Amino acid sequence: MQNSIKVEIVGRDKFWTNAVLTEWRHQFPDRELSTDADGFYIVEKDWLSDLERVAGQCFAKVVIAPEIPSRLSWLRRMVKDGGS
C-alpha cells in the first residue's frame, strides 16, 4: 500500500470498536484492514471517508495516527496523565 495511512478506531468500548470492524467487512469485503505492531490499522487514504462513515454508524471515530513515533508516544502520555 503506497498510498496508506495509519489510523486508530476509537469506539465507546470494545464492543463498538469490534462493531466497526464487522460492519467494515460486511460493507467492503474486498478492502482488508491490516494492523501494525502497535495495533493501528493501515488503510488506503481513499478509504478514509468510508471508514469514518462506518465508524460513525457504530458510535466510533477514526483518528489518524501521527507519522512520527515519538510524537505518538508523547500524545499517549498526555492523554493517560490527563494533560497535566
Which range of residues forms the domain containing residue 55?
4-81
Report pLDDT digits (tens) over 41-50: 999 999 999 9
| Across 5-19, 25-39, 69-83, least confident range | 69-83
The model carries a pTM of: 0.76
Question: Is the pLDDT reported for residue 54 higher than 70?
Answer: yes
48-51-52 Cα angle (round to 5)? 85
What's the number of domains the chain is made of?
1
Report pLDDT digits (tens) over 57-81: 999 999 998 765 555 565 666 665 6
Rounded to the nearest integer, the mean pLDDT of the chain is: 86
Q: The CATH number of the domain where 45 resides is what?
A: 3.30.70
CB 36 within 8 A of CB 42: yes
